[in-house]
């Protein structure tokens, strides 16, 4: 077996995914899962991923039907096409799951994420942080003499780009909600 060639630095890949990157194409999919809003359902859904070594890049959960006691779980995951199909099939077999939609293949979808950035700095860095926030349409939600807290919504790529620009300006802390997604169109 050949030695693993893992580059130094942060990686967005799962620790379980140490296979040859040229073996098969790894795809990113956004799954919307409608489940009963009851104790233990989220643990069962997440257990399916962790038990098989599948990676979750983003996870959001909220009740969407108060009268029917249903919640929507939005999961962003990566894998080969066969792994994604297996995940969808296994999710569909869990008893409290009512619907599984792969928003990536079902057509156009809208994905958004909310993030809060705390940027500490003074002088020219502070001015530059405000200028970039204006370009990215980020709102200042808190301000002190030493720091700002920015709120930004957009695609995960937009959030990543804003974070990359804020790091050299004094990014102190970052909180992200995870992806919320809906299919476009009437249905």
Chain segment 152-179, per-residue pLDDT in tens: 999 999 999 999 999 999 999 999 999 9
d(CA 73, CA 67) in angstroms, rounded, equals: 17
In the chain, where the domains are located: 27-102, 109-183
Class of CATH domain 27-102: alpha beta
Confidence band of 52 (pLDDT split at 50, 70, 90): confident
Confidence band of 23 (pLDDT split at 50, 70, 90): low
Give the pLDDT confidence score for residue 5 in this predicted structure. 55
* Model confidence at 8: pLDDT above 70: no
Confirm if 183 and 109 have CB atoms less than 8 A apart: yes
CATH code reported for the domain at 109-183: 3.30.70.1150
Interval 127-137 mean pLDDT = 96
Query: Are both 27-102 and 109-183 of the same fold?
Result: yes
- Token pair for 164: 């990359």
Interval 75-95 mean pLDDT = 92
* Model confidence at 10: pLDDT above 50: no
Rounded to two decimals, what is the model's pTM? 0.77
Give the pLDDT confidence score for residue 3 in this predicted structure. 54
Give the pLDDT confidence score for residue 107 in this predicted structure. 87
Give the pLDDT confidence score for residue 185 in this predicted structure. 86
* Model confidence at 149: pLDDT above 90: yes
Neighbours of 114 (CB within 10 A): 16
């Amino acid at each position: 077996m050949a030695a693993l060639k893992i580059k130094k630095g942060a990686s967005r890949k799962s620790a379980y995914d140490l296979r040859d990157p040229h073996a098969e194409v790894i795809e990113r999919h956004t799954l919307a899962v409608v489940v009963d809003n009851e104790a233990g359902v989220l643990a069962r859904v997440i257990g399916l991923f962790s038990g098989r070594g599948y990676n979750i890049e983003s996870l959001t959960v909220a009740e969407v039907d108060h009268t029917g006691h249903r919640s929507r779980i939005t999961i962003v995951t990566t894998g080969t096409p066969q792994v994604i199909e297996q995940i969808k099939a296994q999710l569909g077999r869990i008893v409290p799951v009512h619907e599984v939609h792969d928003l990536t293949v079902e057509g156009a979808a809208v994905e958004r994420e909310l993030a809060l950035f705390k940027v500490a700095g003074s002088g020219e860095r502070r001015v530059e942080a405000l200028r970039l926030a204006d370009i990215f349409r980020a709102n200042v939600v808190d301000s002190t003499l030493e720091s700002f807290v920015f709120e930004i919504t957009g695609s995960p790529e937009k959030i990543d780009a804003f974070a990359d620009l804020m790091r050299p300006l004094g990014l102190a802390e970052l909180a992200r909600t995870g992806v919320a997604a809906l299919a476009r169109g009437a249905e």
